[in-house]
Chains A and B, each alone.
Chain A
């Protein structure tokens, strides 16, 4: 089974909760973890990975370059670039390598053949390691300023699927990025179940509603975990929204200083402080997941 964990908003505790759930599930199932937050991957760190055992470069991004020697400065590339990525710098038209989407429109409109070239560049790396808990993890790191982190996530999941076959693993747990764009769509695509994590704040509910709409596109069953459940007493909107949509609530985790402390120790909170209120809540949620989703 493939489970994707998403939140829309960053910082609501996705990786913390994922790492802790993996810690409990590892004793019962043969798992693989996928960190699909390719722009800010942190799950490996939380699971004690210090060295990667295998690394694959991902060459797939394309960026345009303009040869200043042959460029006649007509400016049509600047005018036609759909993403406003070509600027006049000291009299030369220059493609901003950090914002180019690689569509090659500049190359197509350029009147001087050979002046614009579309180059394949490295978009990032995908890595594999064995966590200190014994199960494998696949993680990715997009190079700074590269487009299409979604493609990197799709590659990650392909690699994870191969490993699942090879190692006879049962479940893939995908920790997705913040947002609702290509990375998150690639994280959710193909998943059997989505677990949403939100906190009781107006910002978090706004974002989790948006990611739930993406989940609905995929017609996936969704569940909700409410994190930092007590930071906003009286805020009922999150629970009411979930109930209104028919999204089962797997449990609530209280705000607990043990969580940031455990993150500073680079350990899942349930390992660092097993008796902390948050850890006890996550243990109960893990039991519900085992009983209702992974049964």
Chain B
């Protein structure tokens, strides 16, 4: 079972919600938190833990054996990323940063052994035990690498291999296909937004993504006192989504965020909101299972 926290725009509080929800759920259910914001993973900082159990993520890269290559150009023709260029005589060269590692070139190459198995490090995954009773799985793209898809796929598989009852996924900002990949397989999408015109603009995109993926969607309104929640309600009605929590702007949340200590562990109104949200999620899980 998987649930995803996403939100379109950056900085709406996705990670804050995901981390606090994970802590609040951990004493009721076996859970893993998966930080799939591989370009800017921060959940470990919010939880105050150092990333551990590093595993490299490598990607296939063709290596040409020029003594066998017949200069037929098939590899270059089939490469959708135009990562393989050929000289006048057909000799292929790879531009590594464009290569997606899909192996299309290897599949079409007519000469066995002309394309050899090369590989390139594109990032790492981590499984970190937290002091809150659940493991954190993190994907982290190497700086300079363009493609986050392989990291999302591998980190997600590593989270699934832990065999927990629930994987709580924290996605990147945006609504591109790597966010869809992170959300895929979720039974519930929790969209985090602010009730501002910019927040609403991006919320609509993530609600659209939820609709296209046929995933029931909840909305958490963060910094709810910064704007008009009625506008969020209109969008929620349009997409058949439900507002399940409103979190006011809170200095205490900012302080806990900075200190790397989840606010749900403290007493106070903010903690109660997260516990209430965890109750709702726990009820939802009972209904689905």
Contacts and interface: CB of A to CB of B under 8 A. Distances in A.
B279 to A, nearest CB: 27
A144 B144 contact: no
Contacts of B45: 202-203, 206
Interface residue SS majority, chain A: loop
Interface stretch (B63-71, B88-96, B97-105, B161-169): B97-105
Nearest to B108: A108
B52 interface: no
Most buried by B among A11, A181, A185: A181
Interface string A67-88: 0000000000000101111000
A103 B209 contact: no
B214 to A, nearest CB: 11
A80 to B, nearest CB: 8
Contacts, number: 196
B206 to A, nearest CB: 8
B198 A42 contact: yes
Interface stretch (A23-31, A92-100, A164-172, A274-282): A92-100
B174 interface: yes
A98 B212 contact: yes
A196 interface: no
A231 interface: yes
B173 interface: yes
B135 to A, nearest CB: 20
Interface in B14-42: 15, 37, 39-40, 42
A80 B101 CA distance: 12
B78 interface: yes
A126 B8 CA distance: 19
A104 interface: yes
Most buried by A among B46, B107, B175: B175
Contact of A146 (B80, B177, B198): B177
Contacts of A108: 78, 104, 107-108
A104 to B, nearest CB: 6
A231 B256 CA distance: 12
A108 B201 CA distance: 40
Nearest to B151: A181
Contacts of B202: 40, 42
Given A103-B104, A179-B172, A264 B149 contact: no
Nearest to B226: A260
Interface stretch (A51-59, A209-217, A240-248): A209-217
A207 B10 CA distance: 13
B104 A104 contact: yes
A260 B103 contact: no
Contacts of A62: 80
A181 B81 CA distance: 16
A103 B100 contact: yes
A231 B254 CA distance: 8
Contacts of B102: 82, 101, 103, 105
Contacts of A80: 103, 107
Contacts of A83: 149-150, 153, 181
A42 B258 contact: no
B216 to A, nearest CB: 17
A136 interface: no
Contact of A12 (B11, B150, B258): B11
Contacts of B60: 82
B43 to A, nearest CB: 9
Interface of A: 8-12, 15, 37, 39-40, 42, 45-46, 62, 80, 82-85, 96, 98-105, 108-109, 118, 142, 144-147, 149-150, 177-182, 184-185, 201-203, 206-207, 210-211, 213-214, 217, 231-232, 235, 260, 263-264, 266
Q: Which 5 A-B pairs have the closest CB atoms?
A: A11-B11, A10-B10, A39-B174, A179-B39, A213-B143
Given A9-B11, A99-B181, A178-B10, 20 more contacts: A10-B10, A12-B11, A40-B8, A42-B201, A46-B198, A82-B102, A83-B181, A85-B181, A99-B184, A103-B100, A105-B102, A142-B175, A142-B176, A147-B149, A178-B11, A181-B146, A207-B40, A260-B226, A263-B197, A263-B198
27 contacts: A8-B39, A9-B42, A10-B10, A10-B40, A10-B173, A11-B10, A40-B9, A42-B201, A46-B198, A82-B100, A103-B80, A103-B102, A105-B102, A149-B174, A177-B174, A178-B39, A179-B37, A182-B147, A185-B144, A201-B257, A202-B45, A203-B42, A206-B45, A210-B40, A263-B196, A264-B227, A266-B197
